[in-house]
Each structure stands twice: as structure tokens, then as C-alpha cells.
């Protein structure tokens, strides 16, 4: 049924003249039938809304149900109920989900981890100086687990950790003087610099986090191969350069 709906949608695009008929028919003929009805769920908190992730990846993963999430709570709950065949998220998230095995690691410049930075206004805040500071961070695991990860990231415990769900909220925290510093990944730092003209000072955190991983609940070479062969522009959209 899902394959039929996909086929009908492509025919509609042909009639509208939006997609060359030969290209669409080639995609339909080459698409593996055994992928239809399978699910790939994504949770990568950052600059892109869940609906934009679904829109960008939907065409390449035609026949596979793509669903993206904005919060860890929703992601974990739906996964436990619906059991997708594969997920793309951070390694630290997979460690909190049962029965999924990491198959691929995202990488940038040959590394599967990325540095994180403490951004502040005025003087830079070194990790060794945060014991009396209130720090903001993107919360992608829930308060208790995020506190543990933040302490590991910094190598020390801040006075207070203020978790937010969106990158824009990090900017609000520091703009409204609710925190002395905010923590962001190297990738998200680029987004923050585009969104704000604030003169941030930066200090590198002691430890990195994973960029992203693909994990499967069982042996699934079809989806794994599709993920591994994602076009370069889609991988860059998700915040990395390739898989290994």
C-alpha cells in the first residue's frame, strides 16, 4: 500500500511537469521493494526543525517512513512503541535506548566526535572556572542524565545547569543575563554566529561528544546501505561529512 501511494505521488508530479518522467520512473524501478513499510527515525537536536529534516530526507529515502523528533522524551517513547528498523541520533542517546546497536558513525574531518565550547560575553570562561557559574546547554537527554553529561563534558560541575530544547533559547538565556555562559557544539556554534551579532568569547570544553550515529534494532543491510550512501548535501545538512 505504501509503495502504491508513493508511486501515485510520483505520477502526480510528472503530470504537473515538476519532475522529468524518465527520472521518476527510473527511481521507482530501482527502489528496493523490501524497504517499503520500514521506518527510520531521527533525533538530532540543533538548528533544523523536525519537519525540515523529514522534508529534506524524504525524497532520498523514498519508500521508508522517515520521522524526526524535537525532544528525547518523544523520540524514546515512540521508538519503544513502534520499533523502527533504524535510528539516527547521538551516541549518548543510543546508550539510553534498549536493543539498538550502532552500525555507522558520522564523521567530520576524520573524527567521529566534535568539540564543544563555552561561549560567554566579556571574558572567556575556562572549564576550571565554572564552579560558581550558571551554564546553559541544549538538553537532549533529560535533566538528570544531561547533568551527568555536562559535568563529563566540562570536567567540573557548574553551580547550575539550565537546559533548553532549542538553540534559539540558548541565545535568549545569555542575552537576558540568565546564565554566564552557554555550551554549544562546534557545528551549532556556526548557527549561533549567523543568528547573533554578540561578541562571544569561547573556551573549549575538556571532552567532546559524538557527532551522530546510525543504529539498528536488528541486522538490516538495506537501510544501512541507504544511510551509508546518503548524498553529500544531505549529510552536510545533518551536520557531518560522511559515515564510517
Interval 183-204: pLDDT, tens: 999 989 988 988 888 899 999 9
d(CA 88, CA 94): 9
Q: What stretches of 59-136 show up as alpha helix (H) in DSSP?
A: 72-82, 91-94
99-127 pLDDT tens trace: 899 999 999 999 999 999 999 998 999 88
Residues 190 and 235 in one domain: no
Full residue range of the structural domain in which residue 144 is found = 116-207
**What percent helix, strand, coil does the chain show, rounded to 5?**
40, 25, 35
Q: What is the CATH number of the domain that holds 122?
A: 3.40.190.10
In a domain, 11, yes or no: no
Residues 202 and 222 in one domain: no
Residues 175 and 92 in one domain: no
Residues 130 and 146 in one domain: yes
91-106 pLDDT tens trace: 999 988 888 999 999 9
8-state DSSP, 111:
B
Considering the entire predicted model, what is its pTM? 0.81
In a domain, 105, yes or no: yes
Residues 83 and 193 in one domain: no
48-85 pLDDT tens trace: 999 999 999 999 999 999 999 999 999 999 999 999 99
As for how many domains the chain has, the answer is: 2
Residues 101 and 151 in one domain: no
Residues 84 and 124 in one domain: no
In a domain, 220, yes or no: yes
In a domain, 180, yes or no: yes
d(CA 137, CA 164): 6
CA dihedral 107, 223, 229, 232 (to 10 degrees): -60
d(CA 91, CA 96): 9
Choose among 181, 184, 155, 150: nearest CA to 167. 184
Amino acid at each position: 500500500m505504501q509503495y502504491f501511494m508513493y508511486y501515485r505521488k510520483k505520477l502526480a508530479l510528472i503530470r504537473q511537469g515538476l519532475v522529468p518522467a524518465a527520472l521518476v520512473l527510473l527511481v521507482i524501478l530501482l527502489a528496493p521493494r523490501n524497504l517499503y513499510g520500514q521506518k527510520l527515525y531521527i533525533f538530532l537536536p540543533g538548528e533544523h526543525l523536525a519537519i525540515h529534516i523529514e522534508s529534506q530526507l524524504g525524497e532520498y529515502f523514498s519508500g521508508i517512513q522517515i520521522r524526526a523528533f524535537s525532544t528525547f522524551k518523544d523520540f524514546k517513547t515512540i521508538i519503544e512503541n513502534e520499533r523502527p528498523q533504524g535510528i539516527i541520533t547521538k551516541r549518548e542517546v543510543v546508550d539510553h535506548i534498549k536493543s539498538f546497536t550502532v552500525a555507522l558513525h558520522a564523521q567530520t574531518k576524520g573524527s567521529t566526535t566534535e568539540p564543544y565550547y563555552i561561549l560567554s560575553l566579556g571574558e572567556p570562561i575556562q572549564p576550571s572556572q565554572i564552579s560558581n557559574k550558571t551554564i546553559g546547554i541544549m538538553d537532549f537527554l533529560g535533566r538528570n542524565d544531561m547533568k551527568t553529561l555536562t559535568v563529563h563534558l566540562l570536567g567540573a560541575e557548574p553551580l547550575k545547569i539550565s537546559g533548553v530544547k532549542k538553540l534559539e533559547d540558548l541565545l535568549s538565556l545569555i542575552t537576558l543575563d540568565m546564565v554566564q555562559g552557554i555550551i554549544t557544539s562546534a557545528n551549532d556554534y556556526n548557527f549561533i554566529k549567523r543568528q547573533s551579532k554578540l561578541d562571544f568569547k569561547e573556551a573549549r570544553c575538556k571532552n567532546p561528544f559524538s557527532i551522530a550515529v546510525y543504529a539498528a534494532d536488528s541486522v538490516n543491510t538495506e537501510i544501512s546501505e541507504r544511510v551509508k550512501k546518503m548524498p553529500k548535501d544531505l549529510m552536510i545538512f545533518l551536520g557531518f561529512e560522511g559515515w564510517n
